[in-house]
Chain A
């Protein structure tokens, strides 16, 4: 099956610094990638949708200047958390949909546990 690799799996950073999370589709080309945030004991909340070569579409309430998304190629999307604060600590998960597929399946990365101290 299709594989999505997310890196790093865990990161600890200091308040005020920026953190970049990478999401790669390893064996397929991803038309669209999605970034989710998961709070403890809560469901996944969609943060933004990105299509290769165009600006990301952010969900209501998500600060686009804080969560920078770059989908520069058909196999790579990055999420940068800028000027991180402790309240940004969360589990971030990306998913990707394969180019040309007629179905609605998406494949998920392993997730990144971000802790801001």
Chain B
């Protein structure tokens, strides 16, 4: 079964750096497909944060960065701010599904 695994929750104090992992398999991240990250603020639609594993769309602060290695990817958020409190989702293409796959989401709490 194709799955992208994220930790259910992470937390950090303002100003700190946190990372969110996304672990896949040989039919998605491990097959070379890039990973994308979305931020979903409470009650709003998801917003693209990182595409193609490491690229930031215009308007996304450089506090947000992405990386990918093997069958995993990570989203790092530096200089945590209160407004970063949200749910974060990774997403990739999966060849066995012929479609996209989302991670289960990670709730970021800013302490």
| Interaction A to B | no
